Amino acid sequence: MGLWIPFTLFAAFMQSMRNAIQSRLSKEISTAGVTLARFLWASPVAAAYLLLLYHFDPVAVPRFDTGFVLTVAAAAVSQIIATALMVVLFRLRNYAIGVGLAKSEAVIAATLGALFFAAPLSPLGWAGVVIGGVAIWLMGNTGAIRELPLKTVMTGLGSGLGFAMTTLWVREASLMLDLSFPHSAAWVLLWVISLQTLMLLVWLAVREPATLLELWRRPKIVMLTSLISCLGSLGWFTAMSLESVALVKTLGQVEVLFTLAISATWFKDKLGRRDLLGLGLIVLGALCVILA
């Protein structure tokens, strides 16, 4: 079994937990504030992980050229926008459907990766991506296509596009460092999270200073969100430094399994036959990318 597989499964579980917490927080805090909660305390965790790696396996500190800095900056901005759009989704439809629409990122990442990032897939890999995409559409489309609000569809696709571009740029940045996979992923993680925290802190200080106070009044849930988010990003970034983004994100759709469980037990969302069929297709798609 490839090492990217357990990292992906771990990341998917962490992400489902983080989304659940952010969904609840979105009812109390603005979109920008909920987005910042994802990154606020994650930088120290990422730095501690990097120091731990260097303690047990010292390697040379890489050179961060202009291309690398621009790539991680693009990834940071893209993920901020994608996260903000997902928070908006939480307010437009129920929790499970909001996450499902944003999971269009796997199909988008596969297409953009093949076209622009020299990351082609095998026929079996494409089959897994397509099956996973059909599963997510089936679970998110609870009625006829015309019944889905255009705003919800566009927000979901926008979030998926943002996450897809983030993952493609993260992998590109990892490959630029020419380091072994745990160290390269850890450096990219620290850079991306630090830039995101700085950007959002400046934005909120200027535009929504009251939101910073609201976050300060909720230290436990904000720290928990940041911790879980950082652990999830660690899993994603490491997996994507080992395998193509499309395969990682297609297998990562098992997050929906965790999301539906949380949705039914925590948020009391009702799940139907479409969900069961969609789950079966997600498992089939995951098997395809593992075999690919």
Model-wide pTM > 0.85 = no
What's residue 136's pLDDT?
67
What's residue 265's pLDDT?
66
Between CA 5 and CA 10 the distance in angstroms is 9
Has residue 218 got a pLDDT over 80?
A: yes
Instruction: Answer whether 122's CB lies under 8 Å from 250's CB.
Output: no
Between CA 252 and CA 110 the distance in angstroms is 13
Instruction: Answer whether 218's CB lies under 8 Å from 33's CB.
Output: no
- Mean pLDDT score of the chain, rounded to an integer? 82
Query: CA geometry: angle at 65 spanning 61 and 67, to 5°?
Result: 130
Has residue 145 got a pLDDT over 50?
A: no
Q: Which residues contact 99 (CB under 8 A, 6 or more apart)?
A: 16, 19, 86, 89, 255, 256, 259
Q: Among 43-57, 159-173, 274-288, which stretch is predicted with the lowest mean pLDDT?
A: 274-288
How much of the chain, in percent, has pLDDT values that exceed 90?
A: 38
- Phi and psi based region of residue 178 (left: phi greater than 0; alpha: psi -120 to 50; beta: remaining): left
Within a 10 A sphere around the Cβ of 122, how many other Cβ atoms?
13
Count up the domains in the chain and report the number: 1
pLDDT, tens digit (0-9, with 9 covering 90-100), for 39-96: 889 999 999 999 999 999 999 999 999 999 999 999 999 999 998 888 787 676 555 5
**Structural domain containing residue 147:** 3-291
